Structure 1
Amino acid sequence: MVSALITVAVIAWCAQLALGGWQISRFNRAFDQLCLRGRVGVGRSGGRFKPRVVVAVALDEDQRVTDTLFMKGLTVFASPQKIPAMQGKHLQELQPDVIFPHDPLCQNALSLALKLKHG
């Protein structure tokens, strides 16, 4: 009985490692593509028992959004997505509470991503 439980735990742990690696590689590919689109700001929020949120925003020389990356979830099945509402907008037009009106975690991550260093 104990050996069966240990076997199941080891299989679950290996599956978690494999799926986690798969998620990281998908994110890295999407992030590499985003970095080709301009200067990138990244914000992250969430906690141990809340969905983690990652928002990345690419800006051109005129401070306009050229591309975005958004991930939210508790599991390894969260996948990178775009935020179409931000495309082409100027940095000063972006208001996290308007873009994510009912999601404080997303608002916080976007606020952090928008704190790009000028230069």
Structure 2
Amino acid sequence: MVSALVAVAVIAWLLQMALGGWQIHRFNRAFDKLCQQGRVGVGRSGGRFKPRVVVAIALDNNDNVADTLMMRGLTVFARPQKIAGLEGKPLKELQPDVIFPHDPLCQNALSLALKLKHG
């Protein structure tokens, strides 16, 4: 009985590592494409038991949004996606509380991504 429980735990651990690696690979591919669009700012928020949010924004030479990337979730099945409606907007017009009015985690991640572009 104990050996069966150990075997299940080892299999679950290996599966979690494999799926985590797959998630990182997908994010890295999306992030590489984003980096080709221009200068990139990245922000992350969330905690151990809250959904983590990663936001990345690429800016062109005129400080307009060239492309975006957001990934959020608790599991390894979270996928990178675009933030709708930001492409082409000037950096100065981006307000995290307006873009994500009901999501403080996304607001925080976007704020951090924007601060990286000012520094």
Question: TM-score, structure 2 length as denominator?
Answer: 0.97
Q: Secondary structure at the match of 2:105?
A: helix
What amino acid maps onto 1:107 in structure 2?
Q
Establish whether residue 116 from structure 1 lines up as the match of residue 101 from structure 2. Answer: no
Quote the residue 2:28 is aligned against: 28
Question: TM-score, structure 1 length as denominator?
Answer: 0.97
Q: Is the 8 A contact 2:40 2:117 kept in 1?
A: no
Q: Aligned-residue CA RMSD in angstroms?
A: 1.1
Superposition deviation, residue 117 in structure 1:
4.1
Quote the residue 1:53 is aligned against: 53
Number of residues of Structure 1 aligned to a counterpart in Structure 2? 119
Percent identity for Structure 1 against Structure 2: 80
Q: Secondary structure at the match of 2:116?
A: coil
Superposition deviation, residue 116 in structure 1:
2.9
Q: Secondary structure at the match of 1:86?
A: coil
Superposition deviation, residue 33 in structure 1:
0.2
For 1:117 and 1:87, locate their aligned partners in 2 and report how far apart those are by CA, in whole Å.
16
Quote the residue 2:87 is aligned against: 87
Q: Secondary structure at the match of 1:43?
A: strand
Q: Is the 8 A contact 2:67 2:87 kept in 1?
A: yes
Q: Is the 8 A contact 2:70 2:80 kept in 1?
A: yes
Superposition deviation, residue 85 in structure 1:
1.6
Q: Is the 8 A contact 2:44 2:55 kept in 1?
A: yes
